[in-house]
Amino acid sequence: MSDQVWLAGFLGVLKEAVEGGTPGQGTAFLDGTKADGSGNNGLLATLAGLTAAQASDLTALGVSVAAHAAHSAFHMEVIVRWNAGERGPFDWKGSFAPGTVSESEWQALRARVRSAYDALMHLAQQPTDWDDAEKDAAGGVAGALAHVTYHLGAVRQLIKLV
C-alpha cells in the first residue's frame, strides 16, 4: 500500500471525526445518520450545538466540554509544532483551560479547534518523509485520529450530563 492510500484513509476518518460524515454516504464510526446525511456530526458540529453555559458546565465528572475542546485544539497544535521542530515542554495539564467560557470565548475556542484541525490537515497533506522518526509525522497523524475520536466520545457523554 502506498503512503498516499494509507494517508487518505487516515485523513478521511479524521475528517469524519472533526467535520462529520459526508451526506448520503456511510461513515466509518459515527452513528445517527438520517437519509439526508444529517445527524452524523463530528466534533465541530457537536461543539456548535452548545451554548457557552452548557460548554462550561463541570458536570458530575468535574470537567467541562470547553476543557475538552481546549485540550483537543492544543493536541493538534502540538503535532504541528512538533513537526516544525519544537520539542516543548508542553503544558498538557494546563491545556484543559479554560474550563468555563463566556459566549465570545466559546466562539473563539470553537474557532481555535477549527484552526488547529485545518493546520493539522494542511501539514498531513504536505509531502513528507513518513519514515522520518525525528518528525514522526505518521505517529502524529495516527495520534490525532485516536485523540480526537476519544474526545469526541467524551464530549458526547458529557453532553448527556449537561
Q: What would the pLDDT profile of 92-145 be if each residue is shown by its tens digit? A: 999 999 999 999 999 999 999 999 999 999 998 887 766 676 667 778 888 999
**DSSP-derived secondary structure letter, 98:** -
Closest CA to 1 of 143, 138, 99: 138
Please say if the pLDDT value at position 156 is more than 80.
yes
Range from 3-7, 109-113, 134-138, 156-160 that averages highest in pLDDT: 109-113
What is the biggest distance separating any 2 CA atoms in the chain, rounded to whole angstroms?
A: 47
Please say if the pLDDT value at position 2 is more than 80.
no
Q: What nine digits make up the cell of 17? A: 471525526
Mean pLDDT of the chain: 88
